[in-house]
Amino acid sequence: MTDVHPDVADIADDIATMEIRGAAAIANAAAGALATQARESDANSPAAFRGELRQAAKTLYETRPTAVSLPNALRFVMADVSGDTVAELQESAVASAEAFQRELDQAQERLGEVGANRLRDGDVVMTHCHSTDALSCVKAALDQGKHIEAIVKETRPRKQGHITAEELREWGVPVTLVVDSAARRYLDRVDHVVVGADSIAADGSVINKIGTSGLAVNARDRGVPIMVGAQTIKLHPDTLTGHTVEIEMRDESEVLGGAERERIQGDPDGFTVENPAFDVTPPRYVDAIVTERGQFPPESIVVLMRELFGRDTDRPWEA
């Protein structure tokens, strides 16, 4: 078996441990890692080079299962690798990864402009977790001169809400941080719930950070519209053929700290901790999915998915 470059192994480790997190950042890092693998390769034949690249992609693929942006990124980059010599293959892999990364940035900027059109001057948004796609909508609204305020859910257990709060404060947005269980109480002050997505299924279901579905149900109950900012790289092509999206289960240590664990586990019989990282919000709770191709009601996202992915769900890291 070929070894992956140590820098690629480090990036895979950073993704698995969430040093690098969020679907877009994971896709960007995975593409960058493939470029590193290609650039640093000392393969002595095109076949050996392709084997190394496959192994690198497999290592990256196996880090986290829910954000489809990761396999989509690997697929996109590897689809465009061509050449008859190792040098040609290296050059084309690096160019393909860089093109992918450029498109990722541009898509986020474009979807931000679309999402910003839904926000009015003076609106209050509620956020969950930390999504660069969702935040790009807020940023674009600010750039349009709108005043926006934010109620930011903490997002247990990893508290990615703190990252969101920090970023919004840097942009001058007044922020109120609340614990997750306070969300419903604050919804009557909110004009839009704005979240991101790790994957979007063919039926328009949105897979995002655990707690999104409860927030969406509450928001619907309160009549607050829910907008999902998601680049098309978040569309999950396997769901076109009936596959479901795997929900990552993370370690219980994220939920229970050392002292808490000792106290509760004084009587460990029948005691378990479950820590699902994501949940599924059915399409009926979502008002709009905002992409770089425009906004879509969730039920029609399948049209875009077919157009962009067709039956292209191959797994080049397994070839």
Residues within the interface to ligand RUB (CB under 6 A): 21-25, 67, 129, 131-134, 160, 196-198, 208-209, 277
Choose between 46 and 283: whose C-beta lies nearer to ligand RUB. 283
Burial class (CB in 10 A: 0-12, 13-18, 19+), 95: middle
Q: Is 129 a catalytic residue?
A: yes
Is 64 annotated in a binding site? The answer is: yes
Is 22 annotated in a binding site? The answer is: yes
Q: Which amino acid is at 110?
A: R
Choose between 93 and 197: whose C-beta lies nearer to ligand RUB. 197
Q: What is the nearest approach in angstroms of ligand RUB to the Cβ of residue 263? A: 27
CB 155 within 8 A of CB 211: yes
Dihedral over alpha carbons 233, 237, 239, 240 (to 10 degrees): 130
Is 24 annotated in a binding site? The answer is: yes
What is the token pair recorded at 15?
Answer: 């993704």
C-alpha distance from residue 58 to each of 9, 62, 178, 235, 316 (Å)? 11, 6, 39, 20, 9
Q: Is 137 a catalytic residue?
A: no
* Residue ranges of E strands in 98-204: 124-127, 149-153, 175-178, 192-195, 199-200
Q: What is the nearest approach in angstroms of ligand RUB to the Cβ of residue 41? A: 29
Q: What is the nearest approach in angstroms of ligand RUB to the Cβ of residue 229? A: 6
Going by C-alpha positions, the residue among 89, 117, 62, 95 that lies closest to residue 227 is 117
Is 99 annotated in a binding site? The answer is: no
Backbone CA torsion sign across 11, 13, 15, 17: negative
Choose between 134 and 193: whose C-beta lies nearer to ligand RUB. 134
Choose between 53 and 195: whose C-beta lies nearer to ligand RUB. 195
Is 44 annotated in a binding site? The answer is: no
Q: What is the nearest approach in angstroms of ligand RUB to the Cβ of residue 298? A: 16
Among the options 123, 133, 198, 238, which is catalytic? 198
Q: Which residue of this chain has its Cβ atom nearest to ligand RUB in the complex?
A: 196
What is the token pair recorded at 211?
Answer: 């707690």
User: Which residues are known to be catalytic?
Assistant: 129, 198
Residues annotated within a binding site for substrate: 21-24, 64, 208-209, 234
